[in-house]
Structure 1
Amino acid sequence: MLRTLWKHVAADLTLAAPLLRLHFHDCFVRGCDASVLLDSTANNTAEKDSPPDLTLGGFNVIDEIKTELEKACPGVVSCADIVALAARDSVSFQYKRLLWKVLLGRRDGTISRASEVIANLPPPYFNFTQLKQSFSSKGLTVHDLVVLSGAHTIGNSHCPSFDNRLYNFTGKGDQDPSLSPPYAAYLKTQCKSLSDDTTQLEMDPGSSLSFDNHYYKLLLQHEGLFESDAALLTHKTSLNEVKKMLISRNFFAEFGQSMRRMGNVQVLTGTEGEIRKKCSVVN
């Protein structure tokens, strides 16, 4: 599996971000059960067709790995475990070593509802109190919130996820005062209006392909892209955690631990769920 995944990442270095995001979106809705991979049916709109999940990627890579594993050892490795491993392995590619240990044994869920996504997934406009509550509901702490937000060091975002901070922050055509004015001016040259829903920007400009702790330096310069990034500076506890993550070795050690905790959210084990034969459909 590692060989296949690294082959894909070598061909497309942007792949780590969507695979990491896929794991996060999976775990926050119904737990880490690969429900995010299920296709919609005539009677049900699945998670992947809800608005927050329409920009997810990496499904084809997961499917290819699953096909290979089913040939080698049918009915053994769950799609949920593949998603967890793919997140770790893709992020690890640039260092050519595995950055954290992934616990295995998850089973796949059989239910996927688009209606459950918005209720469970924290959006990019949440404030600190809302973020803390969202993570707490999954058994995760403020420490986990700050550490996992460091995933924003890789990948891109579409303008609608943050453009209200530029053009209509309080509904009066104003700009978010917590955003660095020079950074806001730059963002306005890229996202020219509230109607731009196609342009993508790097979340960590100039470093969006490198998994590192640079995100936290940007945060303290008031150059976090989302309201949810800026929110981490508004509470003493989270601000202290941000400062700790400025030390590189702290970030790498803590990120792996927080990923393990997230990867344990509401997992199905034993005889619960199933091991899907194909990740996009239930058996």
Structure 2
Amino acid sequence: MSATVSFKVPSAQGPRAVTLSYARVGSGEPLLLLHGIGHHRQAWDPVIHLLAAERDVIAVDLPGFGVSPALPDGLRHDLPTMNATLGALCEALEIERPHVAGNSLGGLLALELGREKLVRSVTALSPAGFWTQAERRYAFTVLRTMRGLARRMSPELVERLSRTAAGRTALTGTIYARPARRSPEAVVAEARALAQAVGFEDTLRAGTNVQFTDDVPGIPVTVAWGTKDRLLIPRQGVRAKRIIPRARLVRLPGCGHVPMSDDPALVARVILDGSRC
């Protein structure tokens, strides 16, 4: 069921109220799911029922994405603020050191939470932050192009394109290796979420100089990469393994940048295996 929660996050001007939307389902040890930039928590829908069989799953709309409002004045969409925000979210939901899985931006946030010892395990699917500057510029250009197209297309055109496999490929082929598997309703909702993501530019701007360079010792870490990722190319996973040498590096054959839809069973298995610690 969808719900919202409000809590305070410290800022230089004093505590600020933050409200996030989330869905919670299942039972067992808590598992926090974090989506990528321009997406929403429904990105996890293809795997959430598989994860909920073993975990208390909390899928959250990050600030400024989905139906969560942007961060208030005084809070930036940067990594320290997101660490504080997600830590405060867990406290508000009475979750102590959950497992966390994230995709793209969410994978970077998951690794940051792991580095700060705020979680008990990390699974990062094609995480941001292991790029060269040229690779980062390419990814940001693609993302801005996708958002520009989503904002310019009429809802009627998006709905018409979503009704065919070719149309769904045109709309989402950059992030999915098997876009035809997405339902028309999911594709329409994703296009709307991207077009209406009020936190998009602030989040992208905050990522300009981001580079993940620290090990994440003391907790289990899994880094998984789709072999057909067209946004963050798979060799970035090799860099992640060098930086986090004890991490388990997993290839996701035939999967794109957002692998949850391309192979739900494989992705769920990777997340559950990574959280059995």
TM-score, normalising length from structure 1? 0.26
Pick the structure with greater CA Rg: 1
Higher RCO (Cα < 8 Å, 6 or more apart): 1
TM-score, normalising length from structure 2? 0.27
Which one has the bigger strand percentage?
A: 2
Which one has the bigger helix percentage?
A: 1
